[in-house]
A and B are shown apart, each in its own frame.
Chain A
Amino acid sequence: MDDQSVLKTTPLHALHVSLGAKMVPFAGYDMPVQYPLGVMKEHLHTRNEAGLFDVSHMGQVIVKAKSGLYADAALALEKLVPVDILALKEGRQRYGFFTDENGGILDDLMITNRGDHLLVVVNAACKDQDVAHMKANLSGCDVTLLEDRALIALQGPRAEAVLAELWAGVSAMKFMDVVEVPLHDVPCIISRSGYSGEDGFEISVPEAHAVEVANALLEHPDCEAIGLGARDSLRLEAGLCLYGNDIDTTTSPIEASLEWALQKARKAGGDREGGFPGADRILGELASGTTRRRVGLKPEGKAPVRSHAKLYADAEGKTELGEVTSGTFGPTIEGPVAMGYLPVSHTAAGTTVYAEVRGKYLAMTVATLPFITPTYKR
């Protein structure tokens, strides 16, 4: 049996193929890495106009308390994530992560208050494990992976105008708002969020209508289909982590510079301080710091510095400091961009470190993230 035959497909698979996408295996799915436009133009089109991404491989999960009360579901999930979910208002979304007993990150996720339940969106590669983790640990809750919904991301400065063709009310939404509205008479759940650093939306669509909604959006002259290649360069310029590259069980949220995702209620002195896996380490690091941190890295030359390139304090490769976790060419920056972990002695913006690439030591400057200025509609 070849690998191709065991790959899963999303409801938009035939559409990708008909648009001429180059398909690659990603997290067990046959996914479009690029379309005939190419990664460079797809990236720039998203920054300048609007891009449509199929992210149906991601896991959409409903968490509902058997009591039917939002607070019960929120308090149950708070046992697994260091985020304030109880205070999250209805129709609002926030970023979080599942932590483990060592304070490492099991996955990162988006969490929405949907009134009487939570909608959680998790990474494709982790979804089976995340669902099992929630089923085992969310007492008094039903955890349901939605297998019959597609997820379409629409990103870029023209995203609002593109979506407005299907639903005029979109302009009232703010960053991280979530609403349920019909698009083409299809009930969709729309969040104003994304993974590109641009304003945009993620639209959960019943699978039977996914192609119809995607085509309706693609009909707009400003909207192009965008593959996973550009999705990666967009998120990297935006300074956003990719689970499995930049964060995993060996990195704590504080090492990963994600402390902004922890609200007051879950920190020392808060109403619901701690109470999540690894709280001792994570709250300890918030108080006393870590030995290493995730930083942006800007190669001084033109060569991209990719993930796993070793970082050194000197141009001779004598003192190893850490490793690049993501690196590519940033089409908007018109140069290479990267992220990686460095000891706190070397994390000040402007510090020069050296990456080993094909036997050479290339200078990189520690940079403030993001590399671009996000255009979220706050």
Chain B
Amino acid sequence: MLKFTAEHEWLKLEGDVATVGITSHAAEQLGDLVFVELPEVGAELTKDGNAATVESVKAASDVYSPLDGEVTEVNQAIVDDPSLVNSDPQAAGWFFKLKLKNVADIDSLMDEAAYKDLIG
């Protein structure tokens, strides 16, 4: 199941673990990324709380946690090479995996069609 947030994140749910990244639209808007800071494995994130930071040449931007949960894995590859987020944001450029506190919460997020309507 693929879901989206108004903060331009995507979530791909497998069991009770969601892989989280930023959308192609967000990556394009941010421009060339030069730095990524990810949460620690084991960190408890709350919906809309700070989860990660990305920086382009111009500015730093926060990435928020789409739902409540615990970080089970992070993508070191994007820390080593932030340009991966620009080149493949919705696959190889994933950010972290989140074990959801309440799997049902994901139903409150947008599906792909609703997200596409949002970004126009």
Q: Is the interface of A mostly helix, strand, loop or mixed?
A: mixed
Identify the interface centre among B31, B32, B56, B59: most chain A CB within 10 Å of its CB.
Answer: B32
B118 at the interface (CB under 8 A from A): no
The reply on B60 being an interface residue by CB < 8 A is yes
**Restricting to B14-44, which residues have a CB under 8 Å from any CB of A?**
31-32, 34-35, 37
Chain B interface, DSSP helix/strand/loop, else mixed: strand
Across-interface contacts of A33 in B (CB, < 8 A) = 58
- Please judge, given known A-B contacts A39-B31, A304-B34, A304-B60, whether A329 and B55 are in contact too, CB under 8 Å: yes
Q: Which of A30-51 contact B (CB under 8 A)?
A: 33-34, 38-41, 43
Interface check B113, CB cutoff 8 A:
no
Distance (whole angstroms) from the CB of B120 to the closest CB of chain A: 16
Q: B56–A39 contact, CB under 8 A? A: yes
- Name B residues whose Cβ lies closer than 8 Å to a Cβ of A: 31-32, 34-35, 37, 53, 55-60
Contact in complex: A233, B37 (CB < 8 Å): no
Please encode chain A, from 299 to 323, with 1 for each CB lying within 8 Å of some chain B CB and 0 for all others: 0001110100000000000000000
A328 / chain B contacts, CB cutoff of 8 Å: 57-58
- In the complex, the 9 A-B pairs of residues with the closest C-beta atoms, listed nearest first: A40-B32, A329-B34, A39-B57, A329-B57, A229-B58, A38-B32, A303-B35, A304-B55, A302-B35
- Other-chain contact of A38, B31, B35, B37, B60 (Cβ < 8 Å): B31
Query: How many angstroms from the CA of A237 to the CA of B55 in the assembled complex?
Result: 18
Count how many chain A residues have C-beta atoms less than 8 Å from C-beta atoms of the other chain: 20
Query: How does the 8 Å CB contact mask read for A44-60 relative to B, with 1 for contact and 0 for none?
Result: 00000000000000000
Which of B31, B34, B37, B59: most chain A CB closer than 10 A?
B34
Q: Taking the complex as formed, is A378 at the interface, i.e. its CB lies under 8 A from any CB of chain B?
A: no
Q: List, sorted by A's number, 8 A–B pairs whose CB atoms are closer than 8 Å.
A: A38-B31, A38-B32, A39-B31, A229-B58, A302-B34, A302-B35, A329-B34, A331-B57
The B-contacting residues of A in range 322-345, CB under 8 angstroms, are: 328-329, 331, 336
Contacting pair B35 A304 (CB below 8 A) = yes
A328, closest chain B residue (CB): B57
Nearest CB in chain A to that of B57: its residue: A39
How many whole Å from A337's CB to the nearest CB in chain B? Answer: 11
Query: Which residues of A sit under 8 angstroms from B58, Cβ to Cβ?
Result: 33, 39, 229, 232, 328
* Chain B residues closer than 8 Å to A336, beta-carbon distance: 34-35
Complex: A358 Cα to B59 Cα, angstroms: 14
Residue of A nearest to B37 (CB): A303
- Chain A, 253-279, CB within 8 A of any chain B CB: none
Contact residues in A for B60 (Cβ distance below 8 Å): 304, 306
A328 to B59, CA, bound (A): 8
Chain A residue nearest to B29 in the complex (CB)? A22
**Complex Cα gap A40–B37 (Å):** 20
